[in-house]
Structure 1
Amino acid sequence: MGLFQYTVLSVLVFLLGALGLMIRKNVIVMFLCLELMLNGVNILFMALARCRGSVEGQVIVLFVMAVAAAEAAIGMAIITTFYRNRGGVGVDRADLMKW
């Protein structure tokens, strides 16, 4: 596959994640859609690094994946606490800061 195909793939993955983030109301599904958007960006970084023949893009992707793993662990802990306190993980239950 060439650079154009990888770019189209990464944009489609990113847009699919953005669409899921806007449509869904479940916090866990929204979290997974956010990770999907991050993977779309990672695909683009890898494609550009492959096109240029450099290692920097791969290093950035590895760093982003490490940060995403830590973010996933913290995010799931927050979602678990939210579920225990509110009895569900819907966005409509997050009304603690309403006026």
Structure 2
Amino acid sequence: MLEHILELSASLFRIGIFGSVTSRNMVRALICLELTFNAVNINLVTFSNFFDDSRMKGEIFSIFVLAIAAAEATIGLAIVPAIYRNRKSIRIDQFNLLKW
């Protein structure tokens, strides 16, 4: 059972990293980043349940990771409309706002 869950988590992590690296759309990159965070959460809960049944350290830590991911998504999705208003595009490869 542990191997199947870890394979699922590794697959989600690979898809998330691949999507983050190759996507040109900022919203898609944020979604792939959230997919990566969820793969990490699956690992945390799985290892917590597998190694220590009496404590809930993995579940509590995954709640903190979800809270941080939600804050990151909120900030990222707030930045997207602001950039779209200025540049009329949300393609990542067209951003040069931080260049001198």
- TM-score above 0.5: yes
Question: Which is worse superposed, 20-29 or 89-98?
Answer: 89-98
The structural deviation recorded for 1:59 is 0.2
Residue 70 of structure 1 aligns to which amino acid in structure 2?
A
Alignment correspondent of 1:84: 85
Name the % identity: 37
Alignment correspondent of 1:8: 7
Which 5+ residue runs of structure 1 have no aligned equivalent?
Answer: none
Tell me the TM-score normalised to structure 2 length: 0.91
Residue 91 of structure 2 aligns to which amino acid in structure 1?
G
Q: How does 1:1-99 map to 2 (within 5 A)?
A: 2-52=1-51, 53=53, 54-99=55-100
| Deviation sequence 1:3-56 (CA, Å, 0-9, x none) | 111111111000000111121100110111011111110110011111121300
- C-alpha separation in 2, matches of 1:21 and 1:65: 18
Tell me the TM-score normalised to structure 1 length: 0.92
Residue 72 of structure 2 aligns to which amino acid in structure 1?
E
The structural deviation recorded for 1:98 is 3.4
Residue 84 of structure 2 aligns to which amino acid in structure 1?
Y
- C-alpha separation in 2, matches of 1:97 and 1:43: 35
- C-alpha separation in 2, matches of 1:84 and 1:28: 15
The structural deviation recorded for 1:90 is 0.1
Residue 11 of structure 1 aligns to which amino acid in structure 2?
A
Residue 93 of structure 1 aligns to which amino acid in structure 2?
Q
- C-alpha separation in 2, matches of 1:92 and 1:14: 23
